[in-house]
């Protein structure tokens, strides 16, 4: 008789808080024992020489989503989650995206329908592009109650951007309903102005994508949204921090005690603005927002990961095919930089690049790697301790990591449905050996064992981590006491 469905022996268990040599016993999709000399399992894995870590949590990825600019997403929920699983990730948080003039509920229902084919667990951020009274007062509170406990807003992109008054409205609802607001922070008018001027001077090529949106447009928007969040005393998460200037704004706010959280992405570890300076077809592969920066910014971003300013690494997987009419070149082969779809694919390469550039190159330790690729996202988005930890009672979402494996990243080894990788030719050390989703092996050393529909929607209840501080800039509380007089 077996005591467990699955036992992992011989590995080193790495959690964000501690490292231990122990066996892991799994039953009915959960971790039920950690210890020595565990009884037999129906299935056993020899993890000798490997790290046994919580499965990755990618809390920012666009899957089967309508684009913010133009073009059509290359990935389905099946291909996207398969690719994530092959890269060691066992949970994703993607988006249900509203556009201006639309109601949100039917959109969310539609995303749920399409996400049913996911092969790992998933949750949604709600993209609010039109915070009308109906949307914010009727729809969003109900959707949050159903477990969509994070909202995403854009400060740029014509179809999605919110002005400051609209941002305040979203922050207010988030505070009332205990949800977290995630922000794409770039100054829209400055980008539009620069774009117009660049194009008028016939500076059309992809290189000018970076010129249209330099670090200061990110810095200003980060500063502004921090101010808005401070005004209401509501925590926020700043998405895809790409440069020193933005990270410093966040650091300053954190040092003043504000609950400002932030993420970065592998593209800001390894790509630079020089990658955009190629012919249009090649350069388009690196068009994403914020734009890739400099080597100096890469090191600054790492500094802020070490300091804790930046708490998690996400892929911002935003896949558009090069060779597809509705892909990167939806506006035509000769489209200027401003009409090339924004975003790069990266679900599968997120953990390997972060491990290789981070742990192998001595920039971070193993536990920090686990924290920034899994545990911190679980805490921030209300999934902990079900996700993000190897602990008794947690879901058996596990990544067994081969820290010695040398891999050259090329398009043909990846499992996404996008027709390129921006990381082509990048050499990394460290790759997932086995990925386990709720006790089921979904990836084993080159063998894809994903099953469409295995993934479950993760409804997220209220949680303490994003409690406001209780400190307001004036004696008047604009959110809780709406009719008070001072």
Contacts to ligand URP by CB under 6 A: 62, 68, 184, 288-289, 316, 318, 342-343
- Give the CA radius of gyration of the chain: 22
SS3 126: strand
CA 403 to mean position of chain CA atoms: 23
Q: With respect to Zn ion, which residue has the nearer C-beta, 140 or 344?
A: 344
245 binds Zn ion per the rule CB under 5 A: no
Give yes or no for residue 64 binding Zn ion (CB under 5 A).
no
| Residue 316 in the binding site for Zn ion (CB under 5 A) | yes
Q: How many residues does the chain have?
A: 486
- 328 contributes a contact to Zn ion by CB under 5 A: no
342 binds, among Zn ion, ligand URP, none (CB under 5 to 8 A by kind): ligand URP
Partner interacting with residue 288 (select from ligand URP, Zn ion, none; CB below 5-8 Å by kind): ligand URP
Going through 36-146 in order, the beta strands assigned E by DSSP cover: 41-46, 51-54, 56-58, 89-97, 121-127
Q: For residues 110 and 71, what is the distance between their CA atoms, to the nearest angstrom? A: 19
Q: How far is the CB of 345 from Zn ion (least distance, A)?
A: 12
3-state helix, strand, coil in the chain (%, to 5): 35, 25, 45
Q: How far is the CB of 303 from ligand URP (least distance, A)?
A: 22
d(CA 275, CA 232): 40
* Distance of alpha carbon 84 from alpha carbon 450, whole angstroms: 10
Angle at 262 between CA 257 and CA 263, to 5 degrees: 155
Q: Which residue number, 122 or 443, has a Cβ lying nearer to ligand URP?
A: 122
Least separation in angstroms between CB 239 and Zn ion: 5
* Choice between 311 and 345, CB closer to ligand URP: 345
CB of 434 to Zn ion, least distance (A): 29
Contacts of 474 by beta carbon, 8 Å cutoff, 6+ apart: none
Q: Decide which of Zn ion, ligand URP, none touches 68; Cβ closer than 5 to 8 Å per partner kind.
A: ligand URP
Q: Could you tell me the smallest distance in angstroms from the CB atom of residue 192 to ligand URP?
A: 15
Contacts 24+ apart (CB under 8 A), 102-107: 102/129, 102/130, 103/134, 103/135, 103/139, 104/128, 104/135, 104/139, 104/140, 104/143, 105/139, 105/142, 105/143
Instruction: Quote the least distance from Cβ 301 to Zn ion, whole Å.
Output: 16
Of 73 and 374, nearer to ligand URP (C-beta) is 73
Closest to ligand URP by CB, 262 or 289 = 289
Least Å from the CB of residue 84 to ligand URP: 16
Between 15 and 160, CB nearer to ligand URP:
160
Nearer to Zn ion (CB atom), residue 380 or residue 441: 380
> From residue 428, how far is each of 90, 123, 302, 438 by CA, in Å?
21, 29, 17, 28
CB of 153 to ligand URP, least distance (A): 11
Closer Cβ to ligand URP, 84 or 318, answer by number:
318
List Cα–Cα distances, 87 to 131, 207, 382, 408, in angstroms.
36, 30, 23, 14
**Which of the ranges 44-52, 80-88, 180-188, 381-389 carries the binding residues for Zn ion, by CB under 5 A?**
180-188
Contact in structure between 222 and 278 (CB atoms under 8 Å) = no
Place of tokens 């082969």: 333
- For residues 244 and 316, which CB has a smaller minimum distance to ligand URP in the complex? 316
Cβ–Cβ < 8 Å for 9, 45:
yes
Closest CB to Zn ion: residue number = 184
Could you say which of ligand URP, Zn ion, none residue 237 binds, taking C-beta under 5 to 8 angstroms by partner kind? Answer: none
- Examine residue 184 and tell whether it contacts Zn ion (CB under 5 A): yes
> Quick one: 26 or 128, whose CB is closer to Zn ion?
128
Instruction: Give the nearest distance from C-beta 297 to ligand URP in angstroms.
Output: 16
Structure tokens at 174: 């988030």
**150-107-64-345 Cα dihedral, nearest 10 degrees:** -30
Which of ligand URP, Zn ion, none does 152 bind, CB closer than 5 to 8 A by kind?
none
- Summarize as ranges the residues that interact with Zn ion (CB under 5 A): 184, 316
């Amino acid at each position: 008789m077996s005591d467990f469905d699955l036992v992992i022996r011989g590995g080193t268990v790495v959690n964000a808080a501690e490292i231990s040599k122990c066996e892991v016993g799994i039953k009915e999709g959960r971790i039920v024992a950690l210890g020595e000399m565990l009884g037999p399992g129906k299935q056993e894995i020899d993890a000798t020489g490997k790290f046994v870590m919580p499965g990755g949590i990618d809390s920012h990825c666009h899957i089967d989503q309508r684009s913010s600019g133009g073009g059509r997403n290359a990935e389905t929920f099946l291909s996207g989650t398969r690719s994530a699983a092959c890269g060691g990730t066992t949970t994703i948080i993607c988006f249900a995206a509203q556009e201006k003039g639309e109601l949100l509920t039917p959109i969310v229902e539609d995303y749920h329908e399409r996400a049913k084919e996911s092969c790992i667990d998933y949750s949604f951020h709600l993209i609010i592009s039109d915070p009308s009274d109906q949307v914010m007062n009727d729809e969003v509170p109900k959707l949050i109650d159903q477990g969509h406990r994070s909202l995403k807003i854009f400060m740029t992109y014509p179809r999605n951007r919110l002005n400051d008054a609209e941002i305040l409205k979203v922050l207010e609802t988030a505070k009332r309903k205990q949800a977290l607001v995630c922000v794409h922070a770039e100054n829209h008018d400055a980008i539009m102005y620069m774009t117009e001027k660049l194009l008028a001077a016939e500076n059309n090529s992809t290189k000018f994508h970076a010129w249209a949106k330099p670090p200061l447009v990110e810095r200003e928007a980060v500063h502004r949204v921090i101010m808005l969040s401070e005004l209401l005393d509501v925590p926020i998460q700043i998405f895809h921090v790409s440069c020193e200037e933005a990270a410093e704004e966040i650091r300053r706010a954190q040092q003043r005690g504000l609950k400002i959280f932030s993420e970065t992405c592998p593209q800001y570890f390894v790509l630079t603005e020089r990658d955009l300076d190629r012919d249009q077809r090649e350069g388009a592969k690196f068009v994403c927002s914020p734009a890739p920066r400099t080597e100096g910014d890469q090191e600054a971003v790492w500094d802020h990961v070490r300091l804790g300013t930046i708490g998690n690494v996400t892929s911002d997987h935003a896949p558009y095919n090069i060779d597809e009419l509705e892909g990167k070149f939806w506006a035509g082969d000769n489209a200027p930089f401003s009409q090339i779809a924004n975003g790069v694919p990266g679900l599968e390469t997120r953990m390997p690049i972060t491990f290789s550039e981070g742990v192998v190159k001595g920039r971070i330790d193993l536990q920090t790697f686990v924290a920034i690729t899994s545990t911190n996202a679980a805490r921030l988005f209300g999934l902990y301790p079900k996700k993000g930890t190897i602990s008794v009672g947690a879901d058996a979402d596990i990544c067994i990591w081969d820290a010695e494996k040398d891999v050259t990243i090329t398009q043909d080894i990846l499992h996404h449905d996008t027709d390129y990788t921006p990381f082509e030719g990048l050499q990394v050390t460290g790759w997932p050996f086995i990925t386990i989703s709720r006790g089921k092996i979904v990836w084993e050393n080159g063998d894809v064992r994903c099953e469409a529909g295995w993934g479950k929607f993760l409804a997220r209840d209220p949680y303490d981590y994003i409690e406001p501080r209780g400190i307001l800039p004036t004696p008047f509380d604009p959110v809780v006491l709406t009719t008070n007089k001072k």
